[in-house]
C-alpha cells in the first residue's frame, strides 16, 4: 500500500451501532481513516451508510460504540461540538441563505459559535474569498444562490465544509445530480482535499462511481460491513457481487413478440423532468405491453421514482406519457389511479394508525360490496400473513409485512398496471424471497401488467420479461434479463 | 447590496424625521393612534426576529408582552416605584419568563414549539383572571402613574423607542449573529454540522425578542394608564402582531413595523364601517399572505434583488 498507511489513523470508528426503535440501521461497524486518504463507504439504499456517517458527525447519536478522533472518544457529542473539533460535512441537500451572497454564505461557516460576534472582520472576508476561489466560485461569489446553476451550489457546499480547515471531511453522495463533466471537476476538488492532508470519507451507492477516487472502500449491507479493501478488490469480492448482482440469476422472460398488443399499453416518450436546476430525467422513453412484467433497474438517485411519479401524474414533465392510446398529460393523479394505473410508492405511505384491514378496505373503497370480500380473499391467498394481522395497527408491522400491506392495498384497487417502486428497500433476504414468490404467483395467475423499479437486481430480474437500466437520469440499456449480467452488470457494481 | 443598505438607511431616516414633525400639524387623536401603532411595531419586529430569522413560530407574543406589561403595572400599583424603574423591571421579568418558557420549548421540534407558546398565553390569561386581587382581573389594572400626559411627548417617546428598537433589531439581523440565526432557522442540521449550537442561538433570539416585547408592553401600559387582558394578553392581540409581521414582510424586521402601523391605522380609519372594519383588514391581510407571501417589504426587496 502507499505511504499514507504509515500514519496513525485520524479517525477510528469501533463497534458503532445505531438503532431506531427495533430497527438496527448500523451494526457493529468499525473503520479507520488516515490523514491524506479518501475512504469510501458504499452500500445499496437502506444499507445504513448514511446513518453511519451521521452518527460519526453527531447528527445521530450512536447507540453504542466509539468514535475516536485524534485519541479522544467523541461518540455522543452534539454535532456542533464535533464540527469544532475539526470535522466538515458536505450535505447532499441543503438550503442556502438565498438573500445573502455566495460569499456571505461561506462566511457563515467561518463564524465562531459566539453570541458576541456582531461585526465581521476583514480577515474573515478575505478567508471567505480565498475559499470561494479555491473551489472555483471566484466569478460568482457576489451573486445570490438562487441565480446559480446546480453545480455551483454544490461547490458552495464544498466551500462551507472546508471553510474552517477540517481534518476530516465527510461527503454525502458527492456526484448526485451532476453531469459527467462536472463529476470530473468535483473528483479533482475532492482529491485536492486529500493532497492537503485531510481525511475524506465518501458515502455513495456503488463502488464504480467512486472507484477512481477512493484509496479504500468499505462495502455495507443491511447495516453491516461486508468487506474492506481497494476498490478493485471490493468489486471482485463474491459477497459484494451477490449483494449487487445476485448469484446465478434465473430468468424466465417471455419474448416481447409474445405480447399480442401492437401498440404498447403504456408508452413513455422522451420524458424529461427538472427539480429546480437539477435534471432528474433526461429524454427517457420506455414502453410496457399488456400483461408484461418490466423492470427498471437503477441505483438510488438514478431517477426511478421520478419516472414513476411522472407516470402517476405527480410531477410536471416534458414529453409524452400515453396509456392505451390516450395521453395522460393534465389528468389528475387521483383519476390516473382510479382508472387502474396504481403506484405502490417506495415510502409505502401506509396509514400507520389504522389497522391492516382498514388499510386494505381503503384501497378497495370503490369496489362494490360483493366484489370487495372476493378481492380481499384473493389477496389473503397471495399474502397469507396479512390475514393473521388484520386487526393490527399498520405501523406495528415488521418492515416486510408493511411492504406486503402496501402492495396489497395497491392490489385492492384492482389495477391494470401496477407500479412497484423499490419494494425491497431495507428488507432482509428471507422477506425478499416471500415477496418474490408472491410476485411470481401474481404473474402466473393474473393478467396484471407490472412496472417494477429496483436497485436490487437479484429481485428485479427473475420475474422480468424485459429490463431497462436507468443511470444518471438516462436509459442506458434495454434488453432481456438473460443478457443483463453479461452486458450491463459490470457497470452496476 | 451595500448600496441598498445605505439607501434603506436614508429612506428609514427620512421617514422618521418626517414622522417626528407630525405633532406640529396633526390632531391629538391621530397622534394617540400612531403612538399605539409604534408600540405595536416593536411587538411585530420582535416577533419577526424569531419567525423570520430563528425560524420558530411563536404563537404567544402576548405572553412576553403581557408579562412585561403586568409586572410593570403591578409593581407601580403595589409599591409605587418610579415609572422608569417599573418599565425596566417589567422588561427583565419578560426576559426571565421568556427564558423559562423557551428553554424547554426549544427542545421540542416543529409545531410543538408554537403550541407551547400558545399554552403559555392561555395560562397567563388565566392567572390574571384568577388572581384578580393582584392583577385587577377581567376589569383591568388601574395604574397610578403615567410617563407623561402630553400627547406630543408620548408620541415622540413612542417614535424614538420604535426607531431605536428598529435600529438594534435590524442591525442584529444583519450582523454575523443574524446570519448564524438565519442559517439555524433554515437548516438546523447543517448549521449544527457547521459548528453552531442551535439551541443557544435560538434561545438568544428568544431573549432579545422577550426584552423588546416586554419593554414595549410595559411602556404601553404607562401610556394607557391601565393594563387589561384585552389590550396586552388576549390571543387576538397576539394574532394581530403576527399578521402585522407577516404582512410587512418576513425576514425584514423593518417591514414588521410598517405592517403594524398599517393594521392599526387602517383599523381605525375603517371604524365607521363598524364590525366590518376587522373583516376588511383581515381580508387585506389574507390577500397579501396568499399572493405576496413576502409581504410589503419582502416584495420590494426581491424586486431590488432582481434589478
Show contacts of B72-77: CB within 8 Å, 24+ apart. Answer: B72/B217, B72/B218, B72/B221, B72/B222, B73/B141, B73/B143, B73/B218, B73/B221, B73/B227, B74/B134, B74/B135, B74/B141, B76/B143, B76/B144, B76/B145, B76/B222, B77/B141, B77/B142, B77/B143, B77/B144
For A78, the closest of B179, B192, B201 (CB atoms) is B192
Question: Domains in chain B: how many in total?
Answer: 1
Q: Name which of A99, A101, A122 to mutate to probe chain B: the one with the most chain B Cβ atoms within 10 A of its Cβ.
A: A99
Give A468's pLDDT tier (boundaries 50, 70, 90). very high
Is B196 close to A144, i.e. CB distance below 8 A?
A: no
Residue A447 to residue B94: CA distance in whole angstroms: 70
User: Could you say which DSSP state residue B49 is in?
Assistant: I
CA distance to partner chain A, nearest, from residue B302 (Å):
9
Task: Answer yes or no: pTM beyond 0.95.
Answer: no
- Whether residue A254 is predicted with pLDDT greater than 90 in this model: the reply is no
- Whether residue A310 is predicted with pLDDT greater than 50 in this model: the reply is yes
Q: Helices in A249-398 by DSSP H: which ranges?
A: 304-311, 333-338, 356-363, 371-382, 384-388
Using an 8 Å CB-CB cutoff, list chain B residues near A78: 192, 197
Comparing C-alpha atoms, which of A190, A194, A179 is closest to residue A136?
A: A190
- Whether residue A4 is predicted with pLDDT greater than 50 in this model: the reply is no
The larger pLDDT score, comparing residue A148 to residue A168, is at: A168
Q: Is A330 helix (H, G, I), strand (E, B) or coil?
A: coil
Least reliable range by pLDDT among A152-166, A168-182, A195-209, B66-80: A168-182
The enclosing H or E element of A91 equals none
Is A79 close to B1, i.e. CB distance below 8 A?
A: no
Is A84 close to B305, i.e. CB distance below 8 A?
A: no
The cell for A415 is 389495477
- Residue linked to cell 470530473: A184
The cell for B48 is 419577526
**Any CB–CB contact under 8 A between B180 and chain A?**
yes
Report strand pairing: A266-275 vs A278-288: antiparallel
User: Which residues are within 8 A (CB) of A31 and not within 5 positions of it... i.e. 6 or more apart?
Assistant: A12, A13, A39, A41, A218, A225, A228
Mean pLDDT of chain B: 89
The larger pLDDT score, comparing residue B148 to residue A276, is at: B148
Residue A251 to residue A482: CA distance in whole angstroms: 6
Closest chain A residue to B174 measured between Cα atoms?
A118
pLDDT of residue A6: 53
Residue A237 to residue A228: CA distance in whole angstroms: 10
Using an 8 Å CB-CB cutoff, list chain B residues near A162: none
Strand partners, A272: A318
Q: Which residues of A92-126 are buried (b: 16+ CB within 10 A; e: fewer)?
A: eebebbebbbbbbbbbbbbbebebebeebeeebee
User: Could you say which DSSP state residue A136 is in?
Assistant: T
**Any CB–CB contact under 8 A between B177 and chain A?**
yes
Q: Which phi and psi angles does A17 have, rounded to 5°?
A: -130, 135
- Whether residue B306 is predicted with pLDDT greater than 70 in this model: the reply is no
Closest chain B residue to A85 measured between Cα atoms?
B195
Is B179 close to A80, i.e. CB distance below 8 A?
A: no
Q: Each residue of A46-79: pLDDT tens digit?
A: 788 889 999 999 999 999 999 999 999 999 999 9
Comparing C-alpha atoms, which of A203, A97, A195 is closest to residue A153?
A: A97
Q: Name which of A108, A128, A160 to mutate to probe chain B: the one with the most chain B Cβ atoms within 10 A of its Cβ.
A: A108
pLDDT of residue A250: 64
Residue A486 to residue A16: CA distance in whole angstroms: 37
Q: Which of residues 68-107 of B touch A (CB under 8 A)?
A: none
pLDDT of residue A301: 75
Is A120 close to B176, i.e. CB distance below 8 A?
A: yes
- Whether residue B239 is predicted with pLDDT greater than 70 in this model: the reply is yes
Is B197 close to A80, i.e. CB distance below 8 A?
A: yes
The enclosing H or E element of A405 equals helix A399-411
- Whether residue A5 is predicted with pLDDT greater than 60 in this model: the reply is no
**Any CB–CB contact under 8 A between B305 and chain A?**
yes
Give A3's pLDDT tier (boundaries 50, 70, 90). very low
**Any CB–CB contact under 8 A between B182 and chain A?**
yes
Give A2's pLDDT tier (boundaries 50, 70, 90). very low
- Whether residue A206 is predicted with pLDDT greater than 80 in this model: the reply is no
* Distances from the Cα of A156 to the Cα of A131, A135, A181, angstroms: 9, 8, 18
Mean pLDDT value of segment A2-27: 79
CB A22 within 8 A of CB A396: no
Percentage of residues of chain A with pLDDT beyond 70: 95
**The dihedral formed by the CA atoms of B143, B145, B149 and B151, expressed in degrees to the nearest 10:** -60
Report strand pairing: A216-221 vs A266-275: unpaired
Is A95 close to B186, i.e. CB distance below 8 A?
A: yes
CA distance to partner chain B, nearest, from residue A337 (Å):
30
Mean pLDDT value of segment A8-12: 91
Q: Which phi and psi angles does B296 have, rounded to 5°?
A: -55, -60
Report strand pairing: A72-73 vs B226-227: unpaired
pLDDT of residue B283: 86
Is A97 close to B186, i.e. CB distance below 8 A?
A: yes
pLDDT of residue A492: 64
Percentage of residues of chain B with pLDDT beyond 70: 96
Percentage of residues of chain A with pLDDT beyond 90: 46
pLDDT of residue A449: 92
- Whether residue A225 is predicted with pLDDT greater than 60 in this model: the reply is yes
CA distance to partner chain A, nearest, from residue B194 (Å):
6
Strand partners, A477: A469
Mean pLDDT value of segment B102-107: 84
Give A347's pLDDT tier (boundaries 50, 70, 90). confident
**ipTM score for this prediction:** 0.86
Least reliable range by pLDDT among A397-401, B92-96, B102-106, B189-193: A397-401
For B189, the closest of A59, A87, A115 (CB atoms) is A59
Is B196 close to A57, i.e. CB distance below 8 A?
A: no
Comparing C-alpha atoms, which of B248, B238, B243, B217 is closest to residue B61?
A: B238
Residue A52 to residue A224: CA distance in whole angstroms: 10
pLDDT of residue B201: 93
Give B1's pLDDT tier (boundaries 50, 70, 90). very low
pLDDT of residue B225: 92
Q: Which phi and psi angles does A89 have, rounded to 5°?
A: -125, 135
User: Which residues are within 8 A (CB) of B174 and not within 5 positions of it... i.e. 6 or more apart?
Assistant: B5
Q: Each residue of A237-249: pLDDT tens digit?
A: 888 877 776 555 5
Mean pLDDT value of segment A81-104: 90
Burial of B288: CB neighbours in 10 Å, binned 0-12, 13-18, 19+: buried
Mean pLDDT of chain A: 87
Q: Which of A248-252, A343-347, B286-290 tops mean pLDDT?
A: A343-347
Q: Each residue of B244-280: pLDDT tens digit?
A: 998 888 888 999 999 999 999 888 888 888 778 778 8
Mean pLDDT value of segment B194-206: 93
Using an 8 Å CB-CB cutoff, list chain B residues near A84: 195
Least reliable range by pLDDT among A5-9, A208-212, A417-421, A467-471: A5-9
Residue A258 to residue A460: CA distance in whole angstroms: 20
Mean pLDDT value of segment B61-69: 96
CA distance to partner chain B, nearest, from residue A158 (Å):
12
Structural domain span for residue B100: 2-306
Strand partners, A325: none
Closest chain A residue to B250 measured between Cα atoms?
A99
- Whether residue A482 is predicted with pLDDT greater than 90 in this model: the reply is no
A190: left (phi over 0), alpha (psi -120 to 50) or beta: alpha
The cell for A98 is 438565498
Show contacts of A91-96: CB within 8 Å, 24+ apart. Answer: A91/A157, A91/A172, A91/B189, A91/B190, A91/B193, A92/A172, A92/A173, A92/A176, A94/A157, A94/B187, A94/B190, A95/B186, A95/B187, A95/B190, A96/A145, A96/A153, A96/A156
pLDDT of residue A1: 42
The enclosing domain of B35 has a CATH number of 1.10.3470
- Whether residue B4 is predicted with pLDDT greater than 60 in this model: the reply is no
Residue A470 to residue A302: CA distance in whole angstroms: 6
* Distances from the Cα of A203 to the Cα of A5, A191, A232, A235, A298, angstroms: 21, 15, 17, 16, 17
CB A38 within 8 A of CB A194: yes
Q: What is the DSSP string of A236-261?
A: H-HHHHHHHH-SS----PPPGGG---
Give A493's pLDDT tier (boundaries 50, 70, 90). low
| Cα atoms in the Cβ-side hemisphere of radius 13 Å centred on B122 | 7
Mean pLDDT value of segment B77-98: 95
The cell for B130 is 384568577
pLDDT of residue A22: 66
Closest chain B residue to A97 measured between Cα atoms?
B183
By a Cβ cutoff of 8 Å, what residues of chain A touch chain B?
57-59, 78-80, 83-84, 87-89, 91, 94-95, 97, 99-101, 104, 107-109, 111, 113, 115, 117-120, 144, 160, 163-164
Is A94 close to B183, i.e. CB distance below 8 A?
A: no
User: Which residues are within 8 A (CB) of A114 and not within 5 positions of it... i.e. 6 or more apart?
Assistant: none
Using an 8 Å CB-CB cutoff, list chain A residues near B189: 59, 79, 91
Burial of A81: CB neighbours in 10 Å, binned 0-12, 13-18, 19+: middle
Mean pLDDT value of segment A15-32: 88
Comparing C-alpha atoms, which of B157, B152, B149 is closest to residue B26?
A: B152
The enclosing H or E element of A410 equals helix A399-411
CA distance to partner chain B, nearest, from residue A94 (Å):
7
CA distance to partner chain A, nearest, from residue B233 (Å):
30
Strand partners, A224: A221
The enclosing H or E element of A14 equals strand A11-20
Closest chain A residue to B175 measured between Cα atoms?
A118
- Give first-to-last CA distance, chain B, whole Å: 11
Mean pLDDT value of segment A442-465: 86
For B175, the closest of A58, A78, A118 (CB atoms) is A118
* Distances from the Cα of B174 to the Cα of A418, B16, B37, B49, B259, angstroms: 53, 20, 25, 11, 20
Amino acid at each position: 500500500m502507499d505511504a499514507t498507511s504509515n500514519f496513525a489513523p485520524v479517525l477510528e470508528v469501533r463497534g458503532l451501532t445505531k438503532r431506531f426503535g427495533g430497527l438496527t440501521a448500523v451494526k457493529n461497524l468499525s473503520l479507520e481513516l488516515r490523514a491524506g486518504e479518501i475512504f469510501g463507504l458504499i452500500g445499496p439504499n437502506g444499507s445504513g451508510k448514511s446513518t453511519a456517517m451521521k452518527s460519526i458527525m453527531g447528527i445521530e447519536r450512536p447507540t453504542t460504540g466509539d468514535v475516536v478522533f485524534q485519541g479522544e472518544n467523541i461518540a455522543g457529542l452534539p454535532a456542533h461540538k464535533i464540527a469544532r473539533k475539526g470535522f466538515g460535512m458536505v450535505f447532499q441537500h441543503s438550503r442556502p441563505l438565498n438573500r445573502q451572497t455566495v460569499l456571505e454564505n461561506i462566511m457563515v461557516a467561518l463564524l465562531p459559535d459566539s453570541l458576541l460576534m456582531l461585526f465581521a472582520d476583514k480577515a474573515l472576508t478575505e478567508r471567505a474569498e480565498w475559499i470561494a476561489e479555491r473551489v472555483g466560485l471566484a466569478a460568482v461569489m457576489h451573486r445570490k444562490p438562487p441565480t446559480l446553476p446546480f453545480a455551483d451550489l454544490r461547490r458552495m457546499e464544498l466551500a462551507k465544509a472546508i471553510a474552517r480547515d477540517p481534518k476530516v471531511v465527510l461527503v454525502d453522495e458527492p456526484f448526485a445530480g451532476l453531469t459527467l463533466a462536472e463529476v470530473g471537476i468535483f473528483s479533482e476538488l475532492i482529491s485536492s482535499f486529500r493532497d492537503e492532508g485531510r481525511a475524506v470519507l465518501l458515502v455513495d451507492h456503488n463502488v464504480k462511481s467512486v472507484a477512481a477516487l477512493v484509496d479504500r472502500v468499505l462495502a455495507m449491507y443491511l447495516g453491516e460491513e461486508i468487506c474492506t479493501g481497494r476498490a478493485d478488490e471490493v468489486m471482485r469480492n463474491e459477497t459484494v457481487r451477490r449483494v449487487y448482482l445476485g448469484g446465478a440469476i434465473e430468468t424466465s422472460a417471455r419474448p416481447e413478440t409474445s405480447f399480442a398488443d401492437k401498440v404498447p399499453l403504456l408508452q413513455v416518450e422522451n420524458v424529461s423532468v427538472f427539480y429546480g436546476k437539477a435534471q432528474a430525467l433526461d429524454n427517457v422513453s420506455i414502453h410496457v405491453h399488456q400483461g408484461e412484467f418490466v423492470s427498471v433497474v437503477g441505483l438510488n438517485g438514478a431517477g426511478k421514482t421520478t419516472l414513476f411519479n411522472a407516470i402517476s401524474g405527480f410531477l410536471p414533465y416534458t414529453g409524452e406519457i400515453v396509456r392505451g392510446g390516450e395521453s395522460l398529460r393534465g389528468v389528475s393523479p387521483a383519476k390516473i389511479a382510479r382508472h387502474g394505473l396504481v403506484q405502490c410508492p417506495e415510502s409505502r405511505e401506509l396509514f400507520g394508525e389504522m389497522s391492516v384491514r382498514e388499510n386494505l378496505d381503503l384501497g378497495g373503497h370503490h369496489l362494490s360490496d360483493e366484489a370487495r370480500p372476493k378481492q380481499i380473499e384473493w389477496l389473503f391467498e397471495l399474502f397469507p400473513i396479512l390475514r393473521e394481522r388484520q386487526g393490527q395497527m399498520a405501523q406495528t408491522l415488521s418492515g416486510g409485512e408493511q411492504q406486503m400491506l402496501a402492495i396489497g392495498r395497491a392490489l385492492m384497487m384492482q389495477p391494470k398496471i401496477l407500479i412497484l417502486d423499490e419494494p425491497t428497500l431495507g428488507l432482509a433476504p428471507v422477506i425478499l424471497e416471500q415477496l418474490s414468490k408472491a410476485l411470481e404467483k401474481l404473474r402466473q395467475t393474473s393478467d396484471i401488467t407490472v412496472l417494477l423499479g429496483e436497485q436490487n437486481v437479484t429481485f428485479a430480474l427473475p420475474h422480468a420479461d424485459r429490463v431497462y437500466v436507468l443511470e444518471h437520469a438516462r436509459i442506458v440499456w434495454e434488453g432481456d434479463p438473460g443478457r443483463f449480467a453479461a452486458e450491463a452488470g459490470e457497470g452496476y457494481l | 447590496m451595500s448600496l441598498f443598505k445605505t439607501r434603506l438607511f436614508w429612506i428609514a431616516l427620512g421617514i422618521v424625521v418626517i414622522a417626528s414633525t407630525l405633532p406640529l400639524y396633526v390632531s391629538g387623536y391621530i397622534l394617540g393612534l400612531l403612538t399605539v401603532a409604534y408600540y405595536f411595531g416593536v411587538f411585530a419586529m420582535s416577533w419577526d426576529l424569531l419567525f423570520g430569522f430563528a425560524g420558530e413560530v411563536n404563537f404567544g407574543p402576548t405572553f412576553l408582552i403581557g408579562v412585561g406589561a403586568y409586572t410593570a403595572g403591578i409593581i407601580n400599583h403595589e409599591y409605587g416605584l418610579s415609572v422608569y424603574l417599573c418599565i425596566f423591571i417589567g422588561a427583565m421579568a419578560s426576559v426571565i419568563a421568556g427564558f423559562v418558557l423557551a428553554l424547554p420549548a426549544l427542545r421540542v421540534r416543529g409545531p410543538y414549539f408554537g403550541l407551547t407558546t400558545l399554552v403559555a398565553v392561555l395560562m397567563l390569561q388565566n392567572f390574571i383572571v384568577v388572581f384578580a386581587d393582584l392583577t385587577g382581573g377581567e376589569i383591568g389594572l388601574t395604574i397610578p402613574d403615567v410617563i407623561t400626559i402630553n400627547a406630543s411627548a408620548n408620541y415622540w417617546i413612542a417614535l424614538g423607542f420604535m426607531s431605536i428598537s428598529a435600529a438594534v433589531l435590524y442591525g442584529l439581523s444583519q450582523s454575523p449573529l443574524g446570519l448564524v440565526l438565519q442559517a439555524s432557522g433554515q437548516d438546523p442540521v447543517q448549521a449544527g454540522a457547521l459548528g453552531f449550537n442551535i439551541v443557544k442561538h435560538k434561545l438568544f433570539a428568544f431573549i432579545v425578542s422577550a426584552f423588546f416585547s416586554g419593554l414595549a408592553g410595559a411602556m404601553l401600559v404607562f401610556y394607557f394608564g391601565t393594563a387589561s387582558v384585552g389590550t396586552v394578553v388576549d390571543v387576538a392581540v397576539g394574532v394581530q402582531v403576527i399578521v402585522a409581521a407577516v404582512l410587512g414582510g418576513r425576514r425584514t424586521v423593518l417591514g414588521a413595523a410598517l405592517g403594524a402601523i398599517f393594521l392599526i391605522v387602517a383599523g381605525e380609519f375603517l371604524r365607521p364601517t363598524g364590525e366590518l372594519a376587522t373583516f376588511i383588514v383581515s381580508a387585506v391581510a389574507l390577500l397579501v399572505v396568499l399572493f405576496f407571501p413576502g409581504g410589503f417589504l419582502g416584495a420590494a426587496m426581491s424586486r431590488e434583488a432582481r434589478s
